[in-house]
A and B are shown apart, each in its own frame.
Chain A
């Protein structure tokens, strides 16, 4: 599994450059962090990669084939392999559906999937959903509740369970911890780290918080105004050749 992005550019309008000639690559099992201030184009990059936004220039290939194929059978394969978790835990679940219905949506569309958490058992839909909740450390009693009856951290765990249910090989996380308080952030990050090891999946972790990124990722990309400012391995974090902007981000994080 490999993701290669080359010369990717995207404009929302003529003079709003959201992404400017972005290039990077990710190998199987790697965790890449993308940091940058608000408005730097992080979410845009994530959305382009899952095909929620289109792009004009550049190439993205996944396993050697161009990303977000238009042919339906190829698209299906792509969707099965690439999942995304969003920033806002409050709107990532349908308020009108009980949790267990929400969490099953991807698995319902990929019935042939027999993910490891099922252990080959033949469970009813509701039991499958409960099993998924247990997998992310939630009580199975939560299955019948509505999103309004869950805490932010619980909702984010449900979103993670939903994304991981079909065992994607690439998971894009767009600030999954931004709306949570610090202790819950750590729990969620640990959860993601566990699954990354267990499933050997690639994670693209987007955050404005460089501490969260250093906790999870081996490779870090610093984005500003849609351009890559700096790109380095985690062990070079405090190297003197770091870009001044990166240094500023690190400093800002350590003051907090």
Chain B
């Protein structure tokens, strides 16, 4: 009870976290309930109703094919945010174990993974994602695969660095002299140590990846019409930008709000963990 109380007061004192949580709750609501609440079928073409202005019927107007923009954005939330989270989740699942093992066991295993990582890192990740998506062919699945292939490296490197400095600490040495297997030492000591940093990184990364997916969809490598992914909606709208800027403004805003939410959450979590760390070092 006591800790719940201190936790919630700590939260209120942390405006980033508070803002992030409010936005996250809102976005989660849109993702999980939005599909049931939207007034129109996001795929339904109605040429008689093209490029309508915002009205009580169509809250954000309609696009060049007469589809309801509000419905499309709400429907796209699940796709865009869900895919961003999925991509980061998979990158974490690949990168973190590799970083832990590579850092803790060291030796040839470490040299092997570092060789791969350095090789891939010589390319900027946007270019690499474009190249992979180009090779695999344009589709949302391939974009996610491309992003995972690029992003796991960041996690592996960060985790490895954290492990390298932590594994000389005496409690890790004691774990070894206690005959704990490397897997047990990693699970019991090293994984909890790297977890806060990974959570902060992942929160911010979800925003980055949503931007990346949208950017790739915008240049035509990701979601294909008529999928209402936000980047793809930007792409759809670009031909009509002069006549109807809202076709691009609303999806753009949606992306912005989501990225903002991720950044706020990331920063909030970071200061939350830093405060806890500071307390431990007192």
In the assembled complex, which residues on chain B have CB atoms less than 8 Å from the CB atom of A102?
Answer: 171
CA distance A93 to B178 in the complex (A): 13
In the assembled complex, which residues on chain B have CB atoms less than 8 Å from the CB atom of A94?
Answer: 171, 188-189, 192
In the assembled complex, which residues on chain A have CB atoms less than 8 Å from the CB atom of B179?
Answer: 75-76, 79-80, 106, 109-110
In the assembled complex, which residues on chain B have CB atoms less than 8 Å from the CB atom of A52?
Answer: 173, 176-177
Task: Knowing A97-B188, A106-B179, say if A91 contacts B279 (CB, 8 Å).
Answer: no
Query: How many residues of chain A are within 8 Å of chain B by beta carbon?
Result: 29
Q: Is there contact, CB below 8 Å, between A84 and B177?
A: yes
Q: Which of B249-282 contact A (CB under 8 A)?
A: 279-280, 282
Interface string of B171-197 (1 = CB under 8 A from A): 101111111100010001100110000
CA distance A86 to B177 in the complex (A): 12
Q: Is there contact, CB below 8 Å, between B279 and A93?
A: no
Partner of A79, one of B173, B177, B184, B188: B177
In the assembled complex, which residues on chain A have CB atoms less than 8 Å from the CB atom of B280?
Answer: 95, 148
Task: Knowing A102-B171, A148-B279, A148-B280, say if A96 contacts B192 (CB, 8 Å).
Answer: yes
Identify the closest chain A residue to B176 (Cβ).
A52
CA distance A237 to B176 in the complex (A): 37
A sample of 10 inter-chain contacts (CB < 8 A) reads: A50-B177, A79-B178, A84-B173, A86-B173, A94-B192, A95-B280, A96-B193, A97-B188, A97-B189, A148-B279
Shortest distance from the beta carbon of A155 to any chain B beta carbon, whole Å: 11
CA distance A94 to B171 in the complex (A): 6
In the assembled complex, which residues on chain B have CB atoms less than 8 Å from the CB atom of A148?
Answer: 279-280, 282
In the assembled complex, which residues on chain B have CB atoms less than 8 Å from the CB atom of A82?
Answer: 177
Shortest distance from the beta carbon of A83 to any chain B beta carbon, whole Å: 7
Does residue B170 face the partner (Cβ distance < 8 Å to A)? yes
In the assembled complex, which residues on chain A have CB atoms less than 8 Å from the CB atom of B193?
Answer: 96
Does residue A51 face the partner (Cβ distance < 8 Å to B)? yes
Does residue A209 face the partner (Cβ distance < 8 Å to B)? no
Interface string of B21-44 (1 = CB under 8 A from A): 000000000000000000000000
Tally inter-chain residue pairs, CB-CB below 8 A. 60
Does residue A88 face the partner (Cβ distance < 8 Å to B)? yes
In the assembled complex, which residues on chain B have CB atoms less than 8 Å from the CB atom of A75?
Answer: 179
Q: Is there contact, CB below 8 Å, between B177 and A51?
A: yes
Does residue A185 face the partner (Cβ distance < 8 Å to B)? no
Query: How many residues of chain B are within 8 Å of chain A by beta carbon?
Result: 19
In the assembled complex, which residues on chain A have CB atoms less than 8 Å from the CB atom of B279?
Answer: 148
Q: Is there contact, CB below 8 Å, between A91 and B170?
A: yes
Q: Is there contact, CB below 8 Å, between A86 and B170?
A: yes
Does residue A105 face the partner (Cβ distance < 8 Å to B)? yes
Interface string of B148-165 (1 = CB under 8 A from A): 000000000000000000
Identify the closest chain B residue to A162 (Cβ).
B174
In the assembled complex, which residues on chain A have CB atoms less than 8 Å from the CB atom of B188?
Answer: 94, 97, 101, 105
Shortest distance from the beta carbon of B280 to any chain A beta carbon, whole Å: 5
CA distance A148 to B175 in the complex (A): 19
Does residue A61 face the partner (Cβ distance < 8 Å to B)? no
Given contacts A96-B193, A101-B188, A162-B174, 8 further A-B contacts (CB under 8 A): A51-B177, A92-B174, A93-B171, A94-B188, A94-B192, A97-B188, A106-B178, A109-B179
CA distance A162 to B178 in the complex (A): 9
Q: Is there contact, CB below 8 Å, between B171 and A109?
A: no
In the assembled complex, which residues on chain A have CB atoms less than 8 Å from the CB atom of B169?
Answer: 91
In the assembled complex, which residues on chain A have CB atoms less than 8 Å from the CB atom of B184?
Answer: 109
CA distance A170 to B119 in the complex (A): 48
In the assembled complex, which residues on chain B have CB atoms less than 8 Å from the CB atom of A96?
Answer: 189, 192-193
Q: Is there contact, CB below 8 Å, between B174 and A84?
A: yes
Shortest distance from the beta carbon of A108 to any chain B beta carbon, whole Å: 8
CA distance A95 to B176 in the complex (A): 17
Q: Is there contact, CB below 8 Å, between B170 and A109?
A: no
In the assembled complex, which residues on chain B have CB atoms less than 8 Å from the CB atom of A51?
Answer: 177
Shortest distance from the beta carbon of A176 to any chain B beta carbon, whole Å: 11
Q: Is there contact, CB below 8 Å, between B178 and A109?
A: yes
Shortest distance from the beta carbon of A173 to any chain B beta carbon, whole Å: 13
Identify the closest chain A residue to B178 (Cβ).
A106
The 8 closest A-B pairs by CB, nearest first: A106-B178, A79-B179, A86-B170, A92-B170, A96-B192, A109-B179, A94-B171, A148-B280
CA distance A91 to B280 in the complex (A): 11
Identify the closest chain B residue to A47 (Cβ).
B173
In the assembled complex, which residues on chain B have CB atoms less than 8 Å from the CB atom of A97?
Answer: 188-189, 192
CA distance A39 to B177 in the complex (A): 23
Identify the closest chain B residue to A86 (Cβ).
B170
CA distance A91 to B170 in the complex (A): 6
CA distance A109 to B176 in the complex (A): 11
B169, B176, B193, most chain A CB atoms within 10 A: B169
Shortest distance from the beta carbon of A102 to any chain B beta carbon, whole Å: 7
CA distance A76 to B178 in the complex (A): 9
